[in-house]
Amino acid sequence: MLRIIGMASLFLLNAGWAMSQTAAPPVFEVASVKVASAGTNDGGGHGRLNITPSPSGVSMINVPLKAVIQWAYHVQAVQVSGPGWLDGDRYDVIGKTAGVTSEDQQRQMMQTLLADRFKLTFHRESKEMRAFVASVAKTGLKMKESTTEGDMDMKPSGKAGATIQRATIAKLVELLSGPLQAPVIDETGLTGRYDFTIDVSNVLDPGTPMGISDVIPIFVQLAQQQLGIKIEEKKVSVEMLMVDHVERVPVEN
């Protein structure tokens, strides 16, 4: 249930000469890429994936390559189109920086790593598709603003739920895009970090087969009732990242 815009090319313009000089792509000081030992690579990797950024780098353990691409280019899962194994094969990817760096800088470094180690190439296309818009419900926001510092933390709660702390709205809409199977656009205007618990035990029966048409109204209702977030469906033009080439076996260390 649970299951992160745009690629930047850096140019230094010489205004006096009307010429441009391409900057060297940012890279991690040390990078490790391995096929994950925590899961299988038969298209059905097991175990919980873990993506942990910090000021000195980012650690990705047991992650499908699609998740790495998502994080590097700051897009949602439905915006990445490529071979089916992108969702299955698992990898351990660790990048360390020379000093303190921002998450945006690390995303750019991960873009370089994907090109170097996985030979990733892609193009972008705009596609008209079903999407969802998130806004604050008229009944008011039910999530609490975080009072603690640190990265987002997510833990299982009850029979079928999760307690999440310090989540940005960008991360929340990314999480919702999974069960909704469509991009979720943030129009809440909220800029803080929030704590909340979402519980699906009363509405989802693991023994009952459900299609996407059954799941969508459930999560729309849960978002409003438990989070105070209104979800409305609409058609929008979404920028897609279309993978042209990527190596299944990376250049390892």
Bridge partners for 19 per DSSP:
14
| Shared domain check, 135 and 97 | no
| Shared domain check, 66 and 132 | no
- Domain count across the chain: 2
Which candidate, 71, 142, 147, places its Cα nearest to that of 110? 71
Bridge partners for 196 per DSSP:
164
**Residues, the chain, total?**
253
pLDDT tens series, the chain, 253 aa? 433 333 323 222 232 332 344 567 899 999 999 999 754 444 444 455 678 888 999 999 999 999 999 999 999 888 999 999 999 999 999 999 999 999 899 999 999 999 999 999 999 999 998 899 999 999 999 999 999 988 788 888 877 788 999 999 988 998 888 888 888 999 999 999 999 998 887 766 666 666 667 788 888 999 999 999 999 999 988 899 999 999 999 997 7
| Shared domain check, 144 and 61 | no
The span from the CA of 188 to the CA of 186, in Å, is: 6
In the structure encoding, which two tokens stand for residue 238, read together? 């979404």
Q: Is residue 176, in this structure, part of any structural domain at all?
A: yes
3-state secondary structure 50-63: EEEEECCEEEEEEE
Q: Is residue 243, in this structure, part of any structural domain at all?
A: no
The per-residue pLDDT for range 109-128, each reduced to its tens digit, is 999 999 999 999 999 999 99
| Shared domain check, 198 and 112 | no
Beta sheet of 153-156, edge-to-edge order: 144-145, 193-199, 161-168, 153-156
| Shared domain check, 133 and 49 | no
Q: Is residue 199, in this structure, part of any structural domain at all?
A: yes
The span from the CA of 159 to the CA of 241, in Å, is: 36
Q: Is residue 146, in this structure, part of any structural domain at all?
A: yes
| Shared domain check, 66 and 161 | no
159 and 129 in contact (C-beta within 8 Å)? no
| Shared domain check, 230 and 136 | yes
| Shared domain check, 146 and 70 | no
- Give the pTM: 0.69
| Shared domain check, 16 and 109 | yes
| Shared domain check, 187 and 114 | no
- Domain final position from 93, 118, 143: 118
Question: β-pairing, 121-136 with 229-245?
Answer: antiparallel
Domain residues for the domain of 192 are 127-236
| Shared domain check, 94 and 45 | yes
134 and 173 in contact (C-beta within 8 Å)? yes
